Amino acid sequence: MEQDKTTDAAVIEDLFRQQGEAMQALFAPFLPTADAHVPDPMDLQHWAMSAAKLQKMWLDFGVEQVGQSESILARASGAEGLQAKWNKWLSEIAGALPLANPDTRAKLWEDSVTLWSAILEQYGSGLQPRKSGAPDLPRKDRRFADPRWREQPVFALIHQTYLLLAERINAMANDLSGVSPERHEQIRFLTKVVTDALSPANFPLTNPMVIERTLETRGENLVKGVEHLLTDLRKGQLTHTDPDAFELGRNLATTPGKVVHETPLFQLIQYTPTTETVLAVPLVIFPPWINRFYILDLNPQKSFIRWAVEQGLSVFIVSWKSADAAMAEVLWGDYIRAQVEAIDVVRARLKVPAVHAIGYCVAGTTLAATLAFLARRGEADKVASATFFTAQVDFEKAGDLKNFIDDQQLQLLESLATDGFLDGRYMAATFNMLRGRDLIWSYVVNNYLLGEEYPAFDLLHWNGDTTNLPFKWQKAYLTELYRDNRLVVPDSLVIDGTPLDLHRIATPLYIQAGREDHIAPAESVWKLTRHVAGPWKFVLAGSGHIAGVVNPPSSGKYQYWLNDGTPATLEEFIAGARETKGSWWPDWISWIVAQDDARVPARGRRVPGGRGDKVFGDAPGSYVKSR
């Protein structure tokens, strides 16, 4: 029995290894790409120098790790270790899918041979593409868009065989029966993770661009790539962009403003108006505390904050503090109380009865709880309207993140927590895994194998600028909301003796979702409309969790959909929706003005930092810079 289990766990590895070895044995003489040249013997000294550099870097790295209580590799891979985790995933997939079935394996082999024959027919006797043009390969994938994947039959066979096997294995996972829906989703997700990792593009000996670059540079690309790899291992995080290209306050988060309030949990920033008059009702933005707030203020062209100020809004935003040991006991109630405090500070500062509020992602989930909290206490009129950016309250259809909340994953997170908080790099790695092709493997190829320099990309810089999380709250969030879905159960959750019931929310709502959002799926965001009592407007934006939100009108990108009817489901909404090209921001500001169009002069406390106004420094503040 144990031997069968071991055999089953090796099925996937065998499938790829056997076919890879067969193709390498058959086509080994043709491995260099069409434009590559075998190195001249005179270049051997250069190759030797590259090998010596590689050896020295690894030896130096090994010396650094000696004496450390826990190595960088161990911290990066978690309690089980990379190899153990990988083997476990392979075992789970092999145990769930019919890969060990002789008929299944025979069919895969038969289809592979048929594929090889069809591909080789398109190449001449010299194993070169026909003169009539590039071969027409049956499977297309942007990972293999470079012409060098088609210039020689060996690489065409390698990547087309991979695509065939990945397609069939993922289809098996999608069609799996006899398991619970939760287990089915987990197997489906793990299968995609594993098959993405096994792409021939990710390995130097099966990637024609890497082979060609290595021959051209005599191995210098691998030296540079290992430098990048060791740097990332030392910091415990994959690098996506040039770490020296951006600086807060210089070319990021540059909208002028002042920190006007500070607590141990957050700083409140008020931005300087640029119009002579402003809307009487101010705006308070609550960004997620799992990321830095400046996603809404990347640069002047992309900044939602700057744009909102230019529309005549008095804009405030909360900058959450990255968790440390002093925040070990912070729970969800603390964030709800913080949102209420920020609302009250703005109301008192500007002497207004109410504010408009925006909640992004998890802070939107908390904003819904805050609205329910205020409604139960008879204080709902403190918020004139609430806008939700890609926020979930009903987690029944919460997407791939639900694959990380079983008991085993929660135990792993607990083992990774230190001094009561979870290092933000672990959450960053989790989110990267949700889009592994784009946020992991493309960078492995470009930065580690090809040895390319990092680009200067502000969005990717923000994506890697992680924040630590209070572990008690993070665990409660994953169990009480994601796993148990208690927020939509009336009075199931209680904050400061106040039961939360979303059905008491009568505040006008503007609900935005991203059509391609992989973190907060549109179907899940839509469910907010089913749990509130007041009026709401739903907008479905093109793109995903970030680009669907950060889409200024000047960019001319994407589109959005509205439906003036009364759809009961997202499918009904889409079926009757009208599409508008470009950004949804103008529609939002029109909706805000429709709530209350009264304006007042932009003077006094509407301008932060004036005479007698106590402030705590300039925007973007100090909390956003804490690590």
Taking only the tens place, the pLDDT of each residue in 359-417 is: 999 999 999 999 999 999 999 999 999 999 999 999 998 887 777 777 777 777 777 88
Decide the pairing of beta strands 277-279 and 599-601. antiparallel
Per-residue pLDDT, 339: 98
According to DSSP, the residues that pair with 357 across neighbouring strands are 284, 386
Q: How far apart are CA 272 and CA 251, in angstroms?
A: 18
At residue 414, the pLDDT reads: 79
- DSSP alpha helix (H) spans, 10-81: 11-27, 44-65, 72-77
Which pLDDT score, from 0 to 100, does residue 43 have?
58
Within 10 angstroms of residue 421's Cβ, the number of other Cβ atoms is 23
For residue range 71-98, list pLDDT tens digits in order.
444 544 444 444 555 566 667 666 777 7
Check if 361 is active-site.
yes
Contact 500, 336 (CB under 8 A): no
190, 298, 361, 422: which one is catalytic?
A: 361
User: Please, which pLDDT band fits residue 2 given cuts at 50, 70 and 90?
Assistant: very low
Token reading at 354: 């109410």
- pLDDT at 445 > cutoff 70: yes
Indicate whether 276 pLDDT > 90: yes
Average pLDDT, the chain: 85
Phi and psi, residue 341, nearest 5°: -60, -45
Instruction: Pick the more confident residue, 63 or 393.
Output: 393
Is the confidence at residue 506, as pLDDT, over 50?
Answer: yes
pLDDT above 70 (res 53): no
Q: What percentage of the chain reaches a pLDDT higher than 70?
A: 83
More confident residue, 181 or 209: 209
What single letter denotes the amino acid at residue 459?
L
Distance CA 109, CA 119 (A): 15
Among residues 477, 393, 483, the alpha carbon closest in space to that of 427 is found at 477
23 vs 270, more confident: 270
Is 69's pLDDT higher than 60? no
For the stretch 115-138, pLDDT in tens is 888 888 887 654 455 545 667 888
User: Could you identify the residue written with the tokens 């402003």?
Assistant: 278
Distance from C-alpha of 591 to C-alpha of 535, rounded to nearest angstrom? 12
Which whole number is the average pLDDT over 304-314? 98
- Extract the tokens encoding 322: 């990255």
The pTM (predicted TM-score) of the whole model is 0.83
| Gap between the Cα atoms of 269 and 620, Å rounded | 7
Residue 596: pLDDT over 70: yes
Long-range CB pairs of 347-353 (<8 Å, 24+ gap) are 347/382, 349/260, 349/270, 349/605, 350/282, 350/314, 350/605, 350/606, 351/605, 352/280, 352/281, 352/282, 353/381, 353/382
